[in-house]
């Protein structure tokens, strides 16, 4: 059976909840209060943040849960303003990202192993749409790949990154791509054998750095390593032999290891700290800003770690785990009467 690479579109999945929870840190920080959290309209899913105008990029869904548009939710007016629709009416918006200058998104069919994807970018200033890249494997070649082929986008400072499969010299490769939207320049950062048991996944960019994991199947289990690319000097460095789904903001990098550990690495000090130790809880997809880190888990508990104080706070709500930090906004989906309500608070900077 094919194994799916973890991508941002996992927000479409529903994770089962239990009432069991194990504390991972006895330093619980109680300063934040989510009782007065704001609600994002029910038919939208937060995907990114415009740091210039302080608004949330959202996918706007129709009654069939199809992402039919992308728009911005204004934090001041509480109004959603649609911005772009899919260019191809027969495709769905799979994932999207923004840096406040551009919006980039992937259009594809609902088959994650298909290679019919297209990446577009919208210039917020002049309103133009540009086709950036597309899937180049034919149906026969795509059927040979064991992992998800749809790109997962990350965007910062007009630079877009993703990983997917390409054909070069008649060979199928899994590649990490960097695209400079301002200069219309594409660069392949790294490529590995696309028919092996490894893949390049979950790339994230911030400033001059890109992080990603390289996952590998060993004896029916998946292991991963964390890598860092320095854009100015074009150097790749391995920073961990054990990790998945890294994320980066400022000088901090965070990732998950052994399904339940959360690890923080500082680019300046080179220090690695295990901020949450392993236990019975599975954790995924950490996100962060200069001060805070959050992640998903399989217990439906919203947790927030303060980098500066070294303290952990959990909140007394049930969620379906879709928590995320985007800029200075913390979003999550609260479960109430078996329905999901997307909420947010503004974090102090």
Report the pLDDT value the prediction gives residue 349, as an integer from 0 to 100: 58
In a domain, 151, yes or no: yes
Report the pLDDT value the prediction gives residue 343, as an integer from 0 to 100: 92
Report the pLDDT value the prediction gives residue 67, as an integer from 0 to 100: 67
Domain count, the chain: 1
In angstroms, how far is the first alpha carbon of the chain from the final one? 45
Report the pLDDT value the prediction gives residue 152, as an integer from 0 to 100: 94
Q: How far apart are CA 200 and CA 174, in angstroms?
A: 6
Which domain does 212 fall in, by range? 37-241
In order along its 349 residues, the chain shows pLDDT tens digits of 344 333 334 333 333 322 233 333 333 334 577 778 999 988 899 999 999 999 999 999 877 766 679 999 999 999 999 999 999 988 989 999 999 999 999 999 877 677 899 999 999 999 999 999 999 998 889 889 988 889 999 999 999 999 999 998 889 999 999 999 999 999 999 999 999 889 999 999 999 999 999 998 777 667 899 999 999 999 999 999 999 999 999 999 999 998 899 999 999 999 999 999 877 889 999 999 999 999 988 888 889 999 999 999 888 777 866 899 999 999 998 888 878 889 999 987 5
Reading the block at residue 268, the tokens are 């300046």
Report the pLDDT value the prediction gives residue 219, as an integer from 0 to 100: 73
Report the pLDDT value the prediction gives residue 20, as an integer from 0 to 100: 31
In a domain, 60, yes or no: yes
In a domain, 156, yes or no: yes
In a domain, 153, yes or no: yes
CATH at 109: 2.120.10.80
| Long-range pairs of 65-73 with CB within 8 A, sequence gap ≥ 24 | 65/12, 66/92, 67/92, 67/93, 67/94, 68/93, 69/93, 70/96, 70/103, 70/105, 71/44, 73/40, 73/41, 73/44, 73/46
In a domain, 331, yes or no: no
In a domain, 266, yes or no: no
Report the pLDDT value the prediction gives residue 65, as an integer from 0 to 100: 67
Torsional sign, CA 44, 165, 175, 282: positive
Residue 12: phi, psi to the nearest 5? -80, -15
DSSP H or E segment with residue 142: helix 139-142
Q: Report whether 267 contacts 276 (CB < 8 A).
A: no
Report the pLDDT value the prediction gives residue 321, as an integer from 0 to 100: 66
DSSP strands (E only) in 99-150 = 102-108, 118-123, 129-134
In a domain, 94, yes or no: yes
In a domain, 249, yes or no: no
Reading the block at residue 89, the tokens are 């009416």
Dihedral of CA atoms 249, 254, 255, 258 in degrees, nearest 10, equals -170
Q: How far apart are CA 305 and CA 324, in angstroms?
A: 12
């Amino acid at each position: 059976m094919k194994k799916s690479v973890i991508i941002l579109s996992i927000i479409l999945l529903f994770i089962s909840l239990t009432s069991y929870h194990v504390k991972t840190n006895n330093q619980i920080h109680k300063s934040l209060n989510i009782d007065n959290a704001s609600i994002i309209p029910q038919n939208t899913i937060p995907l990114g943040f415009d740091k210039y105008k302080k608004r949330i990029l959202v996918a706007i869904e129709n009654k069939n849960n199809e992402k039919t548009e992308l728009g911005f939710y204004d934090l001041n007016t509480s109004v959603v303003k649609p911005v772009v629709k899919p260019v191809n009416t027969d495709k769905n918006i799979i994932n999207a990202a923004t840096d406040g200058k551009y919006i980039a998104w992937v259009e594809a069919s609902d088959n994650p192993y298909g290679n019919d994807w297209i990446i577009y970018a919208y210039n917020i200033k002049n309103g133009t749409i540009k086709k950036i890249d597309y899937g180049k494997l034919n149906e026969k070649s795509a059927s040979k790949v064991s992992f998800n082929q749809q790109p997962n986008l990350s965007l910062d400072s007009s630079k877009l990154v993703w990983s997917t499969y390409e054909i070069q010299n008649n060979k199928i490769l899994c590649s990490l791509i960097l695209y400079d939207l301002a200069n219309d320049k594409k660069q392949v950062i790294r490529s590995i054998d696309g028919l092996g048991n490894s893949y390049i996944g979950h790339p994230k960019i911030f400033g001059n750095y890109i992080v990603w994991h390289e996952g590998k199947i060993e004896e029916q289990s998946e292991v991963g390593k964390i890598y860092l690319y320095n854009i100015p000097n074009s150097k790749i460095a391995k920073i961990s032999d054990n990790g998945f789904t890294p994320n980066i903001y400022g000088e901090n990098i965070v990732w998950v290891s052994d399904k339940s550990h959360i690890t923080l690495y500082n680019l300046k000090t080179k220090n690695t700290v295990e901020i949450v130790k392993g236990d019975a809880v599975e954790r995924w997809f950490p996100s962060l800003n200069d001060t805070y880190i959050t992640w998903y888990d399989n217990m439906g508990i919203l947790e927030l770690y303060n980098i500066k104080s070294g303290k952990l706070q959990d909140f007394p709500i049930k969620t379906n785990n879709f928590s995320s930090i985007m800029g200075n906004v913390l979003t999550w989906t609260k479960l109430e009467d078996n329905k999901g309500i997307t909420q947010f608070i503004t974090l102090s900077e």
